[in-house]
């Protein structure tokens, strides 16, 4: 299957990076290479470092970016490893960092990757196909309590307890092996009048995917590493698709843009904290109507931008 992915908030992200032709930039989530291509086209003597955990994504990106390969270094690593990778490349700091935290259309639409409840396949959902933990293990080995917690926290699934209970009961008979088997369990946990709703399984599948790929646990540490590796006046642009992701980015940016973080009851600053970034976006940038019409999956996207002082 061809790697297809529509880059969300592409122009807004590129504008936000404020690219210098001789600068060094990182695309933390290369995916189909849409954002990377626009960055590369803006560089003359500069350099682009493309991260992705998914080898399929990097394979496609190398083809899409073939006219700019002299400017690009591809890295098959989690962007949480940004410090280690830059140290290996002997790069002290960079001029811009972009991260699009969404799942690519290719991953969702490729049945055998096991991300989608619309296509029957073995439960998988791994962005990095080399890792051990997959959706099959989460669904078939996690306790009812842990499943319920994941579904509620990561998916904001109001029927989390019922779904977790049904999963545990079903696997007493046989393992839950496929996306359709899991879909049927999720659907059956709702009253009949809701069971024909097309998006009924979105939250449960999203929650399990986040758990499989450790998406939210990696993010706060990764953002701190990104900010530490920005040059003065360097920009960081992060696109989120989940309220918890956006909250993590908003909190991190706000902390780094604040001089004093002492509790309000303390009359005089004793923390010594100094802002090291300024917020370029006080409120997140969201897709305009024309983008929403052409790409329905962009609906929950939010872009936040900060600049290193």
Run of H or E residues at 95: strand 94-100
- Within a 10 A sphere around the Cβ of 74, how many other Cβ atoms? 19
Does pLDDT of 5 surpass 60?
no
Split at pLDDT 50, 70, 90, the class of 1 is very low
Six-digit token pair at 147?
A: 């499943």
Does pLDDT of 29 surpass 80?
yes
Lowest mean pLDDT among 108-117, 180-189, 282-291, 297-306: 108-117
Are the C-beta atoms of 155 and 98 separated by less than 8 Å? no
Record the pTM: 0.87
Q: Which residues contact 295 (CB under 8 A, 6 or more apart)?
A: 6, 8, 287
Q: Percentage of the chain surpassing pLDDT 90? A: 70
Domains of the chain: 10-106+215-308 (3.40.50.150), 129-212 (1.10.150.170)
- List pLDDT tens digits, range 269-283: 888 889 999 999 999
Are the C-beta atoms of 14 and 35 separated by less than 8 Å? yes
Region of residue 252 (phi > 0: left; psi between -120 and 50: alpha; otherwise: beta): alpha
Does pLDDT of 198 surpass 80?
no
Looking at residues 23-44, what average pLDDT do you find?
A: 95
Are the C-beta atoms of 27 and 50 separated by less than 8 Å? yes
Rg (CA), the chain: 21
Side-chain-side CA neighbours of residue 9 (13 Å): 27
Residues in the chain: 309
Where does residue 172 rank: exposed (0-12), middle (13-18), buried (19+ CB within 10 A)?
Answer: exposed
Split at pLDDT 50, 70, 90, the class of 294 is confident
- List pLDDT tens digits, range 72-125: 999 999 999 999 999 999 999 999 999 999 876 556 656 667 677 778 899 999
């Amino acid at each position: 299957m061809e790697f297809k992915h529509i880059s969300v908030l592409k122009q807004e992200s590129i504008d936000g990076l404020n690219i210098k032709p001789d600068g060094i930039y990182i695309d933390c989530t290369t995916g189909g290479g849409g954002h990377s291509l626009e960055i590369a086209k803006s560089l003359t003597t500069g350099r682009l470092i493309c991260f992705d955990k998914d080898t399929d994504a990097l394979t496609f990106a190398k083809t899409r970016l073939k006219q700019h390969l002299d400017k690009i270094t591809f890295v098959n690593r989690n962007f949480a490893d940004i410090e280690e990778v830059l140290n290996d490349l002997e790069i002290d700091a960079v001029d811009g960092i972009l991260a699009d935290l969404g799942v690519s259309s290719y991953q969702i639409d490729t049945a055998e990757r096991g991300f989608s409840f619309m296509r029957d396949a073995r439960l998988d959902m791994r962005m990095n196909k080399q890792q051990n933990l997959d959706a099959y293990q989460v669904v078939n080995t996690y306790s009812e309590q842990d499943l319920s917690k994941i579904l509620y926290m990561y998916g904001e699934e109001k029927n989390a307890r019922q779904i977790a209970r049904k999963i545990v009961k079903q696997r007493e008979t046989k393992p839950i092996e496929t996306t359709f088997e899991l879909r049927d369990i999720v659907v059956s946990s709702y009253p009949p009048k809701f069971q024909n709703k097309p998006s009924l399984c979105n939250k449960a599948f999203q929650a399990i995917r986040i758990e499989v790929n450790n998406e939210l646990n990696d993010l706060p540490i990764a953002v701190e590493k990104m900010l530490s590796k920005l040059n003065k006046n360097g920009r960081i642009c992060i696109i989120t698709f989940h309220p918890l992701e956006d909250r993590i980015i908003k909190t991190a940016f706000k902390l780094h843009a604040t001089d004093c973080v002492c509790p309000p009851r303390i009359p005089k600053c004793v923390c010594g904290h100094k802002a090291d970034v300024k917020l370029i976006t006080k409120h997140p940038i969201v897709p305009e109507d024309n983008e929403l019409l052409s790409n329905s999956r962009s609906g929950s996207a939010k872009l936040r931008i900060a600049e290193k002082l």
